[in-house]
A and B are shown apart, each in its own frame.
Chain A
């Protein structure tokens, strides 16, 4: 069976800066991968390329059979809508839309909105009572759970989480990690960028980057 993610000799340069320098890796469907490394090691650049937010300078990045390096602007947009669920460190919720509307926004970009489904997704992440609240009225943990609900609403093939607990206190961090654990156990494929080794240990496997190259990719036990 083909891997869900297959990266071959991936390079990304920003002017004279080489953010990724020949990275190759594979991720099987259903895996939870922790991408770790110091700041500037290319973690975010890697998941931005895998998520179709950025294009590589060279190499290939195949996700669910689609080489994102070959997609044009419109193709990348469609790819993001259909195959990727993003969870960002800064949450990135639209501040003037309620929790429900933020989730429905992702539905709108994918196909059509379905309020009942959006409500169910928010209930699943434990926000039954906060559905009609604006992001500014929610705690950081609640905002991140809205972001998780938004990432899941279109049943993406791949969830990309960039420091999902980086802005949370310990209690909320545990809630979000438990949520990611549940998603993993349901069979979702998760690529998670993190600085924290104890969070990285929760993943099936850990990929370390340094200076844009793979440092190691050990198998990890839970």
Chain B
């Protein structure tokens, strides 16, 4: 390397640059599943448990007073008990739901009975004015959607009377939520309140359970199957939109990363190739001398390959370190989350860079054609 510092520096910069980007991409590749999983968990619930036959054109939790159909109810006790008992999943939040069409100031409105202490965990993207309800036993407080707040001129601290048939409940608004969906038109109360507003037979009854489980789509699918087996007669299914979107995005992101890695490897190899071609020409005289001294082409090329291999290893190592920083930056920019440093990226990047550097050393084959007598004659 001492002989051609300029050229080798150019090749080293190419290898470091390539290694930095590849290391960052590999870091992303290895961490992408965890990152995407986290991102998709931000979308909220990903498993729903209900009675078979309760499927509507719209899920109840996305329905308005006009579109909410007749619910098929189920006993809450066995379902919730089974969820408590089921091991093997990282449950972020889980809550039963019972939907009732009630009236406020003679206007129909959907009242969703749930566990309000789980609302935030199930819906991490919701924004709130006021405060969350921290207890599922609190029958005095409720959350209301922003459209409900506007329609009835309500604000945190306001009182609201809800009527359903001959039953009524007076609740205080703890917070106004901005869900960006149909929940903006709903009143969320704790489950006992909704059960009292519903017909008498709804005591201890729920329509569905929503769960937010942290994990890959495969892990969630596995957990869903286990829960379905433990709850025969119930419909336990992943929320397909989220799961499929996660799987598709993961596949596409991985393909994109793989293509970029291949492209960068090829570009780096081409840069090393150009440098090595120039180096081979530059060192023809040295090679002629080495041959005159009895150097076989295999031993001479071994010297050059040792240089190139060292170049790849050093460039790969430096690039791997740089790649950690780049991966973190990309993680923050793309996923708004930090990418974990993966040490297994180091040997992989270094091995790739050594391989690319050696592949780029193909022009060294030209050295086999050098005739020592011709070189020493100065031709």
Interface residues of A (CB under 8 A from B): 44, 48, 51, 53-54, 74, 77-82, 84, 86, 88, 92, 94-97, 105-106, 108-110, 150, 154
Tell me the nearest residue of chain B to A97, going by C-beta.
B2
A82 to B295, CA, bound (A): 11
Expressed in whole angstroms, the minimum distance between the Cβ of A110 and any Cβ of chain B is 6
Given contacts A53-B376, A88-B376, are A94 and B291 in contact (CB under 8 A)? no
A contact face: mostly helix, strand, loop, or mixed: helix
Chain A CB within 8 A of B179 CB: no
**Which of A53, A79, A81, A110 has most chain B Cβ within 10 Å?**
A53
Known interface pairs A48-B373, A84-B294, A109-B295; 12 further A-B residue pairs with C-beta atoms within 8 A, sorted by A's residue number: A48-B376, A54-B373, A74-B296, A77-B297, A80-B294, A82-B294, A92-B376, A94-B3, A95-B3, A105-B295, A109-B294, A150-B293
Tell me the nearest residue of chain B to A83, going by C-beta.
B294
| A95 cross-chain contacts in B, Cβ below 8 A | 3, 286
Chain A CB within 8 A of B372 CB: yes
A104 to B131, CA, bound (A): 80
* 0 or 1 for each of B270-302: is its CB under 8 Å from A? (1 = yes): 000000000000000010011111111101000
- Taking a contact as CB atoms closer than 8 A, the residue among A54, A77, A88, A92 that contacts B294 in the complex is A77
- Taking a contact as CB atoms closer than 8 A, the residue among A48, A78, A106 that contacts B293 in the complex is A106
Contact A106 B294 (CB under 8 A): yes
Contact A109 B373 (CB under 8 A): no
Interface residues of B (CB under 8 A from A): 2-3, 286, 289-297, 299, 372-373, 376-377
- Taking a contact as CB atoms closer than 8 A, the residue among B2, B3, B296 that contacts A77 in the complex is B296
Given contacts A77-B294, A81-B294, A106-B294, are A94 and B372 in contact (CB under 8 A)? no
Q: What are 29 inter-chain pairs, A to B, with CB distance below 8 A?
A: A48-B373, A48-B376, A53-B372, A53-B376, A74-B296, A77-B291, A77-B296, A77-B297, A78-B296, A80-B291, A80-B293, A81-B294, A81-B295, A86-B292, A86-B293, A92-B289, A94-B290, A95-B286, A96-B2, A96-B3, A105-B290, A105-B295, A106-B294, A108-B295, A109-B290, A109-B294, A109-B295, A110-B294, A154-B294
| A54 cross-chain contacts in B, Cβ below 8 A | 373
Tell me the nearest residue of chain B to A79, going by C-beta.
B294
| A106 cross-chain contacts in B, Cβ below 8 A | 293-294
| A150 cross-chain contacts in B, Cβ below 8 A | 293
A199 to B289, CA, bound (A): 26
| B2 cross-chain contacts in A, Cβ below 8 A | 96-97
Expressed in whole angstroms, the minimum distance between the Cβ of B372 and any Cβ of chain A is 5
A154 to B289, CA, bound (A): 16
| B292 cross-chain contacts in A, Cβ below 8 A | 51, 53, 80, 86, 92
| B3 cross-chain contacts in A, Cβ below 8 A | 94-96
Given contacts A80-B292, A82-B294, A96-B3, are A109 and B299 in contact (CB under 8 A)? yes
Expressed in whole angstroms, the minimum distance between the Cβ of A55 and any Cβ of chain B is 9
**Which of B290, B292, B294, B373 has most chain A Cβ within 10 Å?**
B294
A53 to B377, CA, bound (A): 11
A82 to B286, CA, bound (A): 20
Tell me the nearest residue of chain A to B294, going by C-beta.
A81
| B293 cross-chain contacts in A, Cβ below 8 A | 80-81, 86, 105-106, 109, 150
A9 to B192, CA, bound (A): 118
Contact A94 B373 (CB under 8 A): no
A109 to B377, CA, bound (A): 22
| A154 cross-chain contacts in B, Cβ below 8 A | 294
Contact A109 B296 (CB under 8 A): yes
Given contacts A106-B293, A110-B294, are A94 and B299 in contact (CB under 8 A)? no
Expressed in whole angstroms, the minimum distance between the Cβ of A12 and any Cβ of chain B is 11
